């Protein structure tokens, strides 16, 4: 309020104070100006309170609106309970049991907002899911798994190569929850390798490596961890193979599930994100063995596809 007072009045009071000290003026002369000053401040303070909603001069309401568009929440939808995530000004995603659903129109983040290896310059279109968002979602999946399977010992079957990073982070989150809760979950981790992609296409030729002897699964609770489920044909074939070893229970955790027209309807029990049919790389997902060293999940550009095509 004092900043809104007129400068001549404030200047006069300063002069009076200086004069009263130097020339021993009567004290009532100072108090008279002091009372006038306080009255003026009260009037100006009331003016400030009445206009608290006025924007600062350097930021109009028109400009402020531009800062509030293009949020991730504009591109995320829910198909079930309409329960919104809270506590984050950028991510206000709506969640369903099948994961966070990302709309087809979501353009991703500009590459200049993040760091990535320089040797991939020009090979990426955008950052689709930043590493931090992936990790936060993984922590939530770990809690869901603990709630469902915490009373059982499980065998985690990691699907290589694309699933190794997601599996490692998921297992670490489960271990952290197990250490800090009354429920202790005993885990054993095993690995299996699947290969069904050539360039950016999923082929019918499925190669399963390391599946010759999975007798350890017999009578056990199995959690299959896969990074991405595309058409679902690969996962369907894997589930049939795992069932031959007669496990007690089989659950599937998938970080990404694509919306595709020719899918076979395989939906994991635990889903991180449901995404459009776009070819994504990073976070151990590859394109002909490239891009596994990216922290973020990105969309590969047409130049990148041509550069690393075989």
| CA-CA-CA-CA torsion sign (298, 302, 306, 310) | positive
- Which strand (E) or helix (H) includes residue 275? strand 270-275
What are the start-end ranges of the E strands in 85-149?
94-96, 99-102, 124-129
| CA-CA-CA-CA torsion sign (23, 29, 33, 34) | positive
CA distance 118 to 95: 35
Q: Is 230 a catalytic residue?
A: yes
Peptide bond connecting 164 to the previous residue in cis, omega within 30 degrees of 0: no
Q: Are 83 and 65 in contact (CB under 8 A)?
A: no
CA distance 299 to 125: 5
Q: Which of 123, 169, 230, 269 is catalytic?
A: 230
Q: Which of the residues are catalytic?
A: 230
């Amino acid at each position: 309020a004092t900043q809104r007072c007129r400068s001549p009045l404030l200047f006069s009071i300063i002069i009076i104070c200086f004069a009263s000290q130097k020339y021993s003026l009567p004290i009532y002369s100072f108090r008279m100006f002091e009372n006038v000053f306080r009255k003026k401040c009260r009037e100006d303070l009331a003016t400030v309170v009445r206009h608290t909603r006025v924007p600062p001069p350097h930021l109009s309401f028109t400009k402020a609106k531009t800062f509030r568009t293009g949020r991730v929440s504009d591109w995320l939808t829910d198909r079930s309970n309409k329960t919104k995530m809270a506590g984050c000004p950028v991510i206000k995603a709506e969640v369903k049991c099948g994961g966070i659903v990302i709309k087809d129109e979501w353009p991703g983040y500009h590459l200049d907002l993040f760091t990535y290896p320089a040797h991939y310059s020009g090979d990426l279109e955008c950052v689709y899911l930043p590493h931090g968002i992936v990790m936060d979602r993984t922590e939530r999946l770990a809690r869901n798994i603990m709630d469902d399977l915490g009373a059982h010992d499980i065998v985690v079957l990691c699907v290589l190569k694309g699933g190794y990073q997601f599996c490692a982070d998921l297992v670490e989150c489960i271990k952290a929850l197990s250490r800090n809760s009354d429920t202790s979950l005993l885990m054993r981790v095993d690995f299996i390798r699947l290969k069904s992609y050539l360039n950016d296409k999923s082929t019918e030729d499925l190669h399963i490596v390391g599946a010759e002897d999975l007798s350890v699964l017999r009578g056990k609770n199995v959690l299959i961890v896969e990074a991405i489920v595309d058409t679902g044909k690969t996962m369907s074939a894997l589930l049939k193979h795992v069932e031959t070893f007669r496990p007690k229970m089989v659950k599937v955790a998938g970080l990404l599930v694509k919306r595709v027209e020719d899918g076979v309807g395989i939906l994991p029990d635990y889903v991180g994100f449901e995404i459009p049919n776009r070819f994504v790389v990073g976070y151990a997902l590859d394109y002909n063995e490239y891009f596994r060293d990216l922290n973020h999940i990105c969309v590969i550009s047409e130049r990148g596809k041509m550069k690393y095509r075989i």
